[in-house]
A = this chain, B = another copy of it.
């Protein structure tokens, strides 16, 4: 199970390829995690932040993308470091133009969560 919650400042509306970013993360979790993130449990979503103040509030082009991953407990620290180092690099490369074009802050946080779940998406995947 992996939840990925992306927030992006509204001033990126015209320049951020959100579907591409979400697909990149979902694909990376499917293909590079060796099953650590079962496909049926991947849920990536993106929310636009319409109201914000960044830094000193004086840079109208200042923008951010923040990515939060919440996953079940139990992955080793070694896996986490190796997997998310590479994911962050992929995301940073995907957004490289933004860093060149404007003041831009990208962040990725990972938290472990415990909880309850029930999921019939796995059934569709087994076809």
Contact = CB atoms under 8 A, between A and B. Distances in A.
A66 B116 CA distance: 10
Given A39-B56, A56-B30, A123-B103, A51 B116 contact: no
Question: How many of these chains are in the complex?
Answer: 3
A86 to B, nearest CB: 10
A114 to B, nearest CB: 7
Contacts of A43: 52, 54-55, 64, 66, 105
Contacts of A76: none
Interface residues of A, number: 60
Nearest to A121: B103
B88 A105 contact: no
A104 B121 contact: yes
Given A42-B54, A44-B53, A104 B119 contact: yes
B55 A125 contact: yes
